[in-house]
A and B are shown apart, each in its own frame.
Chain A
């Protein structure tokens, strides 16, 4: 008789070969992502922006509340960006350090984007997965609600909300939370519909797994790729959304600020020969959004290769 058969690994080792390691879906995706130069560059920029928002204040020489009285009155002449007086980005219209203000605004804007994306991930995924999996009347009703909410111009309704319940960051988050999950719910429902007839779900049903468990343990984990991609793409659109409201002066309130509020401040001072007030917030805004879109596109190509 032949000697005992070894495992596959033993055989490979006996033949003097390196064992072939299995590649998971995620490591494949990682490879595809990092092969994409734009996406990798976007990720690097994004990390820098986040670091800037978190730790930018430590290299600032002024806080975001201090008013530089020495410049007040001749901001157009002396308020420009300069290393010498510590205002790297110049000062804003009231003599506050623009660098510190941009750091402060970046925190708020990034937070708005991330909170919006998180809400959409939690609510949108559950809503879509339940509607898609349960199907029937439940599905019709749930998706009608989404349709209904999507067909109203939510910006107006959100402004209405902000007017009625006093403008505050919390109210802004609630407003953004109300609308951010709608698209996600639709996308997730579509994916769920195609997942629910797969064999592993059938197997789960056959072995008597309860419906909620199937949704949470079998459907939702398989949606992760799509959800991550759309959540990443949602962050910049939420930031644009908030900036729009803040640009109108209806969003975050002084002394708090955001990219939109800063761009508005710069834009309303256009005629005062103070181009830095528009330039720096605008540059940070545009660069960050570019980075978000590139990373999002890269993730889509990496995680969702069929959709091009």
Chain B
């Protein structure tokens, strides 16, 4: 077990380093300068600017400095467009917002999707089952960028119940639409996976044994069926997390939450390299770490997995 964890960590760390180096080199390869303006900058000024941001040093040295700063101090350097702010400032401002509704979405997707899937399997071929199957098929074609405008159209413009954007420090009514828009398609996938694995488990021999010896249904499901049925769901958590963190970019932009995704897209449009790099690396690190945790969790729960 410990050697498995060690080996997984030994893969995760180079992955993150590679991501840092890759995005650094990519930005180096970019044509055009962040200081380019329509009127052009006098060469002396340009030289000064480059000196200030350390762009006059050789490539390897700059890469070394960048990687070192990121790894040891989580310092992504200054933003090229917001003159007086660093990338860290922007992240510190936007990340809590994204994290707040991101966690809510994740919780909603897992809790609602899992419950729906389990219930659908227990009441197989009932109206509840058909409802769950219907939702999970329908939600396949409702990715976040389809859900978001539809939700705003219905709940903001027609019914006028909820605000169609903004944040206001994360009051609950500003949270609802982003959370629904972000979580729906993952909720549906989780419901589908839970349902099919629960059905499989409920037909297994050990469940028949448990029922034959007279255990009440509730106990059979909670004690015996639940754990093996949830295993496939755990392995889906990694992809779901990646999907949601990607989707959050769109939610941030569409609902103007002021989250990290808004900075990402704005800096992508204005070629603010250090911000894009910083956010990509942050998200990449988060993803790799999360996948690591899920893998270890999975290996810990399922003894069948080979280390």
Residues of A at the B interface (CB closer than 8 Å) are: 144, 147-148, 151-153, 155-157, 159-166, 236, 240, 243-244, 247-250, 260, 263-264, 266-267, 270-271, 275, 278, 282, 285-286, 289-290, 293
Q: How far is the CB of A282 from chain B (nearest CB, A)?
A: 6
Please classify the interface of chain B as helix (H, G, I), strand (E, B), loop, or mixed, using the class held by over half of its residues. helix
Q: How far is the CB of A200 from chain B (nearest CB, A)?
A: 29
Chain A CB within 8 A of B18 CB: yes
Complex Cα spacing A110 to B145, Å: 18
Return chain A residues, CB-CB under 8 Å to B140. Answer: 236, 289, 293
User: Is A270 within 8 A of B269, CB to CB?
Assistant: no
User: Is A151 within 8 A of B23, CB to CB?
Assistant: no
Complex Cα spacing A120 to B267, Å: 31
Complex Cα spacing A230 to B291, Å: 24
Chain A CB within 8 A of B29 CB: yes
User: Is A290 within 8 A of B141, CB to CB?
Assistant: yes
Q: How far is the CB of B283 from chain A (nearest CB, A)?
A: 5
Binary contact track B251-291/A, C-beta < 8 Å → 1, others 0:
00110000000001100110100001101100110011001
Residue in B12, B250, B277 whose CB lies within 8 Å of A248:
B250
User: Is B26 within 8 A of A267, CB to CB?
Assistant: no
User: Is B157 within 8 A of A156, CB to CB?
Assistant: no
Q: How far is the CB of B160 from chain A (nearest CB, A)?
A: 13
Chain A CB within 8 A of B153 CB: yes
User: Is B265 within 8 A of A293, CB to CB?
Assistant: no
User: Is B15 within 8 A of A148, CB to CB?
Assistant: yes
Return chain B residues, CB-CB under 8 Å to A155. Answer: 246, 249
User: Is B271 within 8 A of A163, CB to CB?
Assistant: yes
User: Is B30 within 8 A of A263, CB to CB?
Assistant: no
Complex Cα spacing A153 to B287, Å: 7
Closest 9 A/B residue pairs (Cβ): A267-B149, A289-B141, A164-B30, A155-B246, A247-B145, A156-B280, A163-B268, A286-B141, A153-B287
Residue in B11, B146, B242 whose CB lies within 8 Å of A282:
B146
18 of the cross-chain contacts (CB-CB < 8 Å) are A151-B12, A152-B15, A152-B284, A152-B287, A152-B288, A157-B19, A157-B22, A157-B23, A160-B276, A162-B268, A164-B26, A164-B27, A164-B30, A236-B141, A244-B250, A263-B145, A267-B145, A270-B164
User: Is A278 within 8 A of B284, CB to CB?
Assistant: no
Q: How far is the CB of A199 from chain B (nearest CB, A)?
A: 27
Residue in B153, B245, B271 whose CB lies within 8 Å of A278:
B153
B140, B146, B250, B288, most chain A CB atoms within 10 A: B146
Residue in B26, B245, B246, B265 whose CB lies within 8 Å of A161:
B26
Q: How far is the CB of B34 from chain A (nearest CB, A)?
A: 11
Q: How far is the CB of B183 from chain A (nearest CB, A)?
A: 16
Chain A CB within 8 A of B148 CB: yes
Complex Cα spacing A144 to B48, Å: 44
Q: How far is the CB of B188 from chain A (nearest CB, A)?
A: 12
User: Is A159 within 8 A of B268, CB to CB?
Assistant: yes
Return chain A residues, CB-CB under 8 Å to B31. Answer: 164, 166
- With A153-B246, A249-B269, A278-B153 in contact, do A293 and B141 touch (Cβ < 8 Å)? yes
Q: How far is the CB of B165 from chain A (nearest CB, A)?
A: 10
Complex Cα spacing A226 to B157, Å: 45
User: Is B265 within 8 A of A157, CB to CB?
Assistant: no
Q: How far is the CB of A21 from chain B (nearest CB, A)?
A: 37
- With A148-B15, A270-B153 in contact, do A285 and B146 touch (Cβ < 8 Å)? yes
Chain A CB within 8 A of B143 CB: yes
Q: How far is the CB of B284 from chain A (nearest CB, A)?
A: 5
Complex Cα spacing A267 to B153, Å: 9
Chain A CB within 8 A of B132 CB: no
Chain A CB within 8 A of B137 CB: yes
Complex Cα spacing A263 to B146, Å: 8
Chain A CB within 8 A of B198 CB: no
Complex Cα spacing A151 to B8, Å: 12
Return chain A residues, CB-CB under 8 Å to B145. Answer: 243-244, 247, 260, 263-264, 267
**Which A residue's beta carbon lies closest to that of B18?**
A148
Q: How far is the CB of A291 from chain B (nearest CB, A)?
A: 10
**Using a CB-CB cutoff of 8 Å, which residues 184-201 of chain B contact chain A?**
none
Complex Cα spacing A151 to B143, Å: 21
Complex Cα spacing A165 to B269, Å: 13
Complex Cα spacing A260 to B146, Å: 9
User: Is B149 within 8 A of A278, CB to CB?
Assistant: yes
Complex Cα spacing A302 to B4, Å: 39
Chain A CB within 8 A of B152 CB: yes
Return chain A residues, CB-CB under 8 Å to B265. Answer: 248-250
Q: How far is the CB of B72 from chain A (nearest CB, A)?
A: 22
User: Is B268 within 8 A of A151, CB to CB?
Assistant: no
Return chain B residues, CB-CB under 8 Å to A148. Answer: 11, 15, 18
Return chain B residues, CB-CB under 8 Å to A275. Answer: 153
Return chain A residues, CB-CB under 8 Å to B146. Answer: 263, 282, 285-286
